[in-house]
Structure 1
Amino acid sequence: MPDNEQHTLSPRGAFDRLLDAASLISEDMRTALRADGLTTTRATVLFELAHRGPLTQRQLADALRVTPRNVTTLVDALETGGFLRRTAHPDDRRAVSVELTGTGRTAVERMDRDADALARELFGDLPPEQLGVVVRTLDRVTARFRDAPSR
């Protein structure tokens, strides 16, 4: 990446920095999750269950935008690890509900604490007006990605 000011103050310079930050955050997250025997995808399953409550495997597949077969593999691994359990669905005899165990809830709580600590480390010393600029800018970038046609 060239270190000249023209490149630095360009859309590409901003994009390169966003990629660098995303890569560093992803690697930090992967390292922390590995200590619990988790991957980012498995952690996402735990977060979905923590925030939405018990779900059927079909609902989980829809929430994750993956196939039911992929969810089965994820749920199998997380159940083996003690993070979640399958139970009979209360209203549909054909469906199976997936819910967090105590171990799963503890893992989500730890991930939340770690995310809070990293957020404070990265942004805690920014004055409110600068933090507002960061948040608004990232909201705008995120909205553009969501609204853009698939590439």
Structure 2
Amino acid sequence: MSSTEPTTSTSDLAEQLVRLTRRVQRAQRHHLKHLDIAVTPAQSRVLRIVDHCGDTPPRMTDLAARLEVVPRAVTTLVDALEANGAVRRVPDPASRRVVRIALTDTGRSTLRALRSARRAAAEDILAPLTAAQRAELGGLLSTLVDGPGKHH
């Protein structure tokens, strides 16, 4: 970089990231509002984690570890998702004392709607970028999310 190019301070970048995150969240809420889905970002993460676990539903402690929160915080999230019919508590076949959290059909359809809203929000926000700019942004984001040298 030449000395004549303007530099962006870390605090400026941090502010831009915060503003972009808020814009993404607003756009996602906009795409969800007609679907009558009331899921918080934390509940959305729980649904994604449960889905990611596939055929072995996670335990509450697994969810707490993945979310980096205390188990009682997960209980509150799971209680709300269970009340909405998105998840259900199921007994562990190996131990009656262990409870696992499984997605319901409602939970799977909620996840599909959330993913669709996220894609639509991203498309709205990325619309001004060229294909080359999107590719560059993708590489930069991969580096930030995964660390240097880990993206493909």
Q: TM-score range by the shorter chain?
A: 0.7 to 0.9
- Would the aligned equivalents of 1:30 and 1:40 in 2 still touch at CA under 8 Å? no
Residue in structure 1 matched with residue 125 of structure 2 by the alignment: 122
Distance 1:128 1:17 in 2: 21
Distance 2:136 2:115 in 1: 24
Q: 1:60 to 1:126 in 2, by over 3 A?
A: same
Runs of at least 5 residues in structure 2 that lack an aligned partner in the other structure: 148-152
Q: How many pairs does the alignment contain?
A: 138
Q: Percent identity?
A: 30
Residue in structure 1 matched with residue 150 of structure 2 by the alignment: none
Runs of at least 5 residues in structure 1 that lack an aligned partner in the other structure: 145-151
Q: 1:96 aligns to what SS in structure 2? A: strand
Q: Which runs of 4+ in 1 moved over 4 A?
A: none
Residue in structure 1 matched with residue 103 of structure 2 by the alignment: 100
Residue by residue over 1:79-116, the C-alpha shift from the partner in whole angstroms, topping out at 9 and shown as x without a partner, is: 11111100111222210111011111000001111112
Deviation at 1:140, TM superposition (A): 3.1
For normalisation by structure 2, the TM-score amounts to: 0.77
Deviation at 1:49, TM superposition (A): 0.9
Counterpart of 1:16 in structure 2: which amino acid? E
Higher relative contact order structure (alpha carbons within 8 Å, sequence separation ≥ 6): 2
For normalisation by structure 1, the TM-score amounts to: 0.78
Q: 1:99 aligns to what SS in structure 2? A: strand
Please identify which structure carries the higher helix content: 1
Distance 1:96 1:119 in 2: 36
